[in-house]
Structure 1
Amino acid sequence: MKFQGTADYIASHDLSVAVNAAITLEKPLLIKGEPGTGKTLLAHEIAKALDKPLYTWHIKSTTTAQQGLYEYDAVSRLRDSQLGNDKVDNIANYINKGKLWQAFEADEKVVLLIDEIDKADIEFPNDLLLELDKMQFFCYETGEEVIAKHRPIIIITSNNEKELPDAFLRRCFFHYISFPDRETLKEIVAVHYPDLEEQLVESAMKLFYEIRNQRNIKKKPSTSELIDWIKLLLVGKINAQELDDVMEGKSATPFLGALLKNEHDKAMIR
């Protein structure tokens, strides 16, 4: 299995190498990068390119590692026992399988996305060490040893909100998605807007980089924000000359709120 991007996702050479190395080593691929550089989308495109099912586990601040394995619904079992429901005799009826269990029991190799792992408690990654390393865990309620039928392709994203434990990092293949160079960014724009006028693309990207390269802004606009901004330019029928006028200081940047997301940064840019 080799990943080289898709028609909808332009993957750099380094990113393709990282994905294929992680698959070869059968290690989780830990992806970091600026927000909006396509970290989450990568797992979807890997699944599409390799024609594999995708299981997505979105992590929140309240998420525990146990939820990825399974949860025992003791409350429902108690209620059913009071109602005389026969299903209480089988405790397995009250085991809610998590995304890891679902991926482990799949009849084929799947892609498992653990999205924004750094949102969870600092102990969360450590609590998954054995499961990610050995691809198995024990369900105490049923006495069942759950072992992966096929080792899933695991993609883990992080926005660097917290440092991840060394023991966890050791088990991963790491890649940082750098902001794309100008030519790659043009390819990405072309994927979303294949019929866009060349001069409008040039003027839009020139203004975009001018804004992004400002030293004093706190949140630099990302690839996804550029795509949104271009969509608004098309809807607003903004032409290349109008964007050139902005560069010359003759007018204000149209739809600036699509690129800059706080009042400090908007105050820095006209």
Structure 2
Amino acid sequence: MQFSSTKDYVAPPDLIVAVNAAVRLERPLLVKGEPGTGKTELARQVSAALGLPMLEWAVKSTTKAQQGLYEYDAVSRLRDSQLGDARVNEVRNYIRKGKLWQAFEAEAKVVLLIDEIDKADIEFPNDLLQELDRMEFHVYETGETIRAAHRPIVIITSNNEKELPDAFLRRCFFHYIRFPDAETLRAIVRVHFPGIKEALLAAALSRFYEIRETPGLKKKPSTSEVLDWLKLLLAEDLSPEDLKADPANLLPKLHGALLKNEQDVHLFERLAFMARRQGR
């Protein structure tokens, strides 16, 4: 069971090694990197490349670890008991299986994505330590223990919004997705826009990297944002000449796809103002 690049996903060699190492070690793969560098998409591509079903658990700030195991709906059971509903005699009727439970009881190996784990409370990763390590958990309401019939491939993503506990990190295989270099990004663009003209691609990527490397930029544009930008450039039928930086207006064409806050827009406006003053 080996992962590699697919026709829809360009994976750098170090990422391929990390995925296959985590699969071989049967450890969760913790993937960090800038937002928009393809961390979530990686799990989907691993699922497609290995021919395995995928379960996705999107973590929010209010998400609790218990929700990944199961939730017991005591309120509904109390209401049904007041109404004389016969369902109250079976506690299993009020237990909702979480994504880990679904992965553990799957008939075959699955890919389980725990997406953006750093959004949750700091105790969230600690509360999953034993379950991810032993691949089992206890259901107190029924007295049963749920064990993984087939150990799932667990991929966990983080945007580095907060530090994860050391005990959790020890149980993971870690990989940081670096922002792609020009050649890798060119290959990624070709996957999404196979018919793009070389001159336009070269001019767009040159301008894009200029923007990313601008000192003082609060949020650097990501891979997903350059793909959105290129889609707009193609839709507007812009030429390579249209993308050249103008000293009077340093904001790139259709800059809303690349610059996502007013501070960065004002930064380019100030740079253009300074350039005009120096040109007098």
The bucket for the TM-score relative to the shorter chain is over 0.9
User: Residue 41 of structure 1 aligns with which residue?
Assistant: 41
CA deviations on 1:178-228 (whole Å, 9 max, x unpaired) are 000110000000011000011000000010011111111111111000000
- Does residue 204 in structure 1 map to residue 204 in structure 2? yes
Query: Would you say how many aligned residue pairs link Structure 1 and Structure 2?
Result: 268
| In structure 1, C-alpha distance between the alignment counterparts of 2:40 and 2:109, rounded to whole Å | 19
Give the TM-score taking structure 2 as reference length: 0.94
Deviation at 1:75, TM superposition (A): 1.1
Local SS of the residue matching 2:154: strand
Structure 2 SS opposite 1:269? helix
Q: Is residue 249 of structure 1 aligned with residue 247 of structure 2?
A: yes
In structure 2, give the amino acid aligned to 1:228.
D
Name the residue aligned to 1:155. Answer: 155
Q: Find out whether 1:267 has 2:245 as its counterpart.
A: no
Structure 1 match to 2:19:
19
The answer for the alignment partner of 1:112 in structure 2 is 112
1:1-270 correspondence to structure 2 within 5 Å: 1-244=1-244, 246=245, 249=247, 252-269=251-268
SS in 1 for 2:9: coil
Once the two structures are TM-superposed, the CA of residue 249 in structure 1 deviates from its matched residue by 3.1
Given that residues 243 and 253 in structure 1 are in contact (C-alpha distance below 8 angstroms), is that contact kept between their aligned partners in structure 2?
A: yes
SS of equivalent to 1:142: coil
Residue range with higher mean Cα deviation, 118-127 or 77-86 = 77-86
CA contact (8 A) 1:211 1:269 kept: no
1:232/1:255 contact within 8 Å kept: yes
Structure-1 separation of matches of 2:123 and 2:6: 35
Distance 1:76 1:139 in 2: 18
Aligned-pair identity (%): 65
Deviation at 1:250, TM superposition (A): 6.3
Q: In 2, Cα distance between the equivalents of 1:243 and 1:235?
A: 14
Letter of the aligned partner of 1:162 in structure 2? K
Structure 2 unmatched runs, 5+: 270-280
Q: TM-score, normalised by structure 1?
A: 0.97
Give distance in 1, aligned partners of 2:162 and 2:210: 30
Cα deviation 1:122-151 (Å, max 9, x = unaligned): 111111000000000000001110000000
RMSD over equivalenced CA pairs, Å: 1.0
- Where do 5+ consecutive residues of structure 1 fail to align? none
1:81 deviates by 1.4
Q: Tell me how far apart the structure 2 counterparts of residues 98 and 6 of structure 1 sit (CA, whole Å).
A: 30
Separation of aligned partners in 2, 1:5 and 1:149 = 28
Cα distance per residue 1:127-178 (max 9 Å; x no partner): 1000000000000001110000000000000011111000000000000000
Q: Residues 35-81 of structure 1: CA distance to partner in whole angstroms, max 9, x if unpaired?
A: 10000111011001111111111111111110000000111111211
1:269 and 1:250 map into 2 onto residues whose CA distance is: 10
